[in-house]
Structure 1
Amino acid sequence: MLPSAMVNFTASTQGIKTILARLPKSAEVFLVGGAVRDILLKRKIKDLDLLVRKISLNQLKSQLKNLGAVDSKGEKWGVLTVKIGKQAIDVALPRREKAKNTGKYFDFEITAKPNLPVKTDLKRRDFTINALAWDLKKAKLLDPFGGVADLRKKQISTVGQPKQRFAEDHSRILRALRLAAELNFKFEPKTWAALVKTVKTLPQLNIRPKIWRMELKKITQQKKPFQVLCQKAGLVSVAGRRFAAKKYGY
């Protein structure tokens, strides 16, 4: 998990180089999320997400429009998507989230500001291995919540208190199980205990049907050991399957 892997990837990725060249020198630019995790694990990169500080959203949008088509669907949350060649890249301002505690996916009050600290943005993320940022200008890895240590331990841990993180967004339960299945990771004990406890409220989980079907299908397509893992969590039990079939058409 050497930083050289990050340097080599970003130096060879045209979309990132193009954005860096276009933005003002005062802007701070970070590669964040799953891409950082997957580079460190030497996995194929699916999505690119950039975090940009010290530039207003209007300025950012104006600069990105010079590079390609810009999708503004996420603009109210401080997120823009620019297509450079065949590559779509999400470019966002740092965000702070306040959960409404409904358990619904993306049911948060979101504040996006150019000068919010990177750590504030990373703090809102679900798991430590997704709360990593690579400073593209300084070639420095930011890891305020121990994500690299969890990658080395091959374990899933939440950022902050597990019970709270699962209560904020119930779909994180499915995402945690899917990540464990994809990466062949175990669970940090407190994270696992909170996940199992939350699953016991299955009929009351606020998970959108589309997300439920998508994640559960991915989980059950994984290797047998992880189907067993899901069964231990109570999510893919016979009762769970019947509930999913009845409520979500799975």
Structure 2
Amino acid sequence: MTAQQAAQQAAQETAQRNAVVELVRIAPIADELAARFAAAGHQLYLVGGSVRDALLGRLSSDLDFTTDARPQQIMELVKGWADAIWDTGIAFGTVGAARRGTTVEITTFRADSYDRVTRNPEVQFGDSLEADLVRRDFSVNAMAVDLASKTFVDPYGGMQALAQRLLDTPATPEESFADDPLRMMRAARFASQLGFTLAPRVRTAMTEMAGEITRITAERVQMEISKLLCGAQPRLGIELLVESGIAEHVLPELPAMRLEIDEHHQHKDVYQHSLVVLEQAIDLEEPDESPDLVLRIAALLHDIGKPRTRRFTPGGGVSFHHHEVVGAKMARKRLRELRYSKEIVEDVANLVYLHLRFHGYGKGEWTDSAVRRYVTDAGDLLPRLNKLVRADCTTRNKRKAAALQRSYDDLEERIARLAEEEDLAKVRPDLDGNEIMKILGIPPGPMVGKAWQHLKELRLDNGPMAHEDAVAALLSWAKAQGLGAPEA
């Protein structure tokens, strides 16, 4: 062993000891639980993500354990100790419990087999910790702490992989991904969340087995995409999905944006541009708030309509007319197929549809009416739209970039001024439905809605109207519609 190798080994052993000490310090509940299991003659290990996160200094209040005890024995051991117990996962050997604000999941050693048609295992309980660990997704999640002896258990090199920030598999990646193809997307997610790189053999297996992801339900895929996008470095995960070919099956619109650059370089690489916009949108999020999934999806997908709308023009130019309209439809279709909620689907589609609107603002030529319409059309999405539009500036021309930011600063100042004057967030006609019916002498029905919409358009064009002016405008409109004079 060289001096360098010896130093590395010593450093790893120190990190292991420190991790055990930290786990015991942070999670005294683990000690309590271990004592109960030991008294009953059973082993108990802290395992998986809990150990990994402790080594990374980010242990949460959710702890995972594994044991040789069978599920019913686990239930008996936590009775009288836990504040709450649930057995929804007991068919898979898992019992959940909570005590003093900490949630624990305790799972019997597993030695499952897979049909390799679905990702659902045939549950088999095992008797060996090593056999349990080898079936886990990545070696950084296949480490354990023996809570009885306070010793570190790492049969598959998880500590070294963690030190190298490397994702590798305990078994061969081909075996691991054949058992559960969703692990390929988890690899991309961990790249985003933890900044890890993939072992060459893992990257190769992902590329060769990309089509296996079609065995996974849309709901599961959606969950992994969402977690990936909400990670600290989602670009890393997205690039893995695209480069491995997995994106062709789950988000084909992404690789489709890798348009060939025309010889005159009249347009950017849309895919790379979208990744930069995503990163810049993230930079605009509030630092003390949770990741904004809607904003991040919209930033990633805002230009997905460009491949379908690309047209080459005489002289070597290129255009993407109405790509925002096409893109909104494409985003809506893809997100529905991924089983996103109706709210997320509509919010993202509307942001994609609206993201070009600002570019008509120029140097401030919009009238107040146009500003009102911009705000009204955006509605509750206005703060996100502001961020998306600012993030969409990726030009390397510093003068042009500065001019765009000044223009948006000016627009936001005008929005703020008009909002203060007119309460733009609550733009309504100057007459409500009851007043319209009373003035026109008509019953509830479609005509009331048409009158209301007409008055709203006037409100957007002209700002607030005096009551008598609104009444006059309503009567003028009613006359044009052929409505008779109201009864006296």
Q: TM-score range by the shorter chain?
A: 0.7 to 0.9
Q: State the match for 2:219 in structure 1.
A: 210
Shift of 1:60: 2.4
Partner letter of residue 118 of structure 1? L
Decide which structure has greater strand share: 1
Matched, 1:229 2:240: yes
Q: Residues 240 and 95 (structure 1 numbering): CA distance in 2 closer, same or farther, change over 3 Å?
A: farther
Partner letter of residue 54 of structure 2? I
Structure 2 CA distance for aligned equivalents of residues 184 and 81 of structure 1: 30
Q: State the match for 2:122 in structure 1.
A: 109
Q: State the match for 1:154 in structure 2.
A: 165
Structure 1 CA distance for aligned equivalents of residues 59 and 150 of structure 2: 21
Which string of whole-angstrom CA distances, capped at 9 and with x for unpartnered residues, describes residues 129-183 of structure 1?
1111110111111111111111112111112111221121111111111011111
Q: State the match for 1:10 in structure 2.
A: 24
Moved more, 227-236 or 167-176: 227-236
Matches within 5 A, 1:1-250: 1-25=15-39, 26-45=41-60, 47-53=62-68, 55-68=69-82, 69-102=84-117, 104-105=118-119, 107-113=120-126, 116-199=127-210, 201=211, 205-222=214-231, 223=233, 224-236=235-247, 239=252, 245=335, 247-249=337-339
Shift of 1:244: 5.1
Q: Please say if residues 19 and 54 of structure 2, whose CA atoms lie closer than 8 Å, have aligned partners that are also in contact.
A: yes
Structure 2 CA distance for aligned equivalents of residues 121 and 171 of structure 1: 19
Q: Residues 129 and 244 (structure 1 numbering): CA distance in 2 closer, same or farther, change over 3 Å?
A: farther
Q: State the match for 2:450 in structure 1.
A: none
Moved more, 38-47 or 83-92: 38-47
Q: Please say if residues 185 and 241 of structure 2, whose CA atoms lie closer than 8 Å, have aligned partners that are also in contact.
A: no
State the Cα RMSD in Å. 2.2
Structure 1: tracts of 5 or more residues without a match: none
Q: Please say if residues 234 and 240 of structure 1, whose CA atoms lie closer than 8 Å, have aligned partners that are also in contact.
A: no
Q: Residues 225 and 8 (structure 1 numbering): CA distance in 2 closer, same or farther, change over 3 Å?
A: closer
Q: How many residues align?
A: 243
Structure 2 CA distance for aligned equivalents of residues 155 and 149 of structure 1: 8
Q: Residues 64 and 233 (structure 1 numbering): CA distance in 2 closer, same or farther, change over 3 Å?
A: same
Partner letter of residue 138 of structure 1? S
Structure 2 CA distance for aligned equivalents of residues 18 and 29 of structure 1: 11
Q: Residues 187 and 168 (structure 1 numbering): CA distance in 2 closer, same or farther, change over 3 Å?
A: same
Moved more, 151-160 or 1-10: 1-10
Partner letter of residue 129 of structure 1? V
User: Is the partner of 2:76 in helix, strand or coil?
Assistant: helix
Shift of 1:240: 5.3
Partner letter of residue 199 of structure 2? E
Q: Residues 16 and 192 (structure 1 numbering): CA distance in 2 closer, same or farther, change over 3 Å?
A: same
Shift of 1:35: 0.7
Partner letter of residue 37 of structure 2? L
Structure 2 CA distance for aligned equivalents of residues 83 and 77 of structure 1: 19
Structure 2: tracts of 5 or more residues without a match: 1-14, 255-329, 341-488
Q: Please say if residues 162 and 194 of structure 1, whose CA atoms lie closer than 8 Å, have aligned partners that are also in contact.
A: yes
Shift of 1:39: 0.9
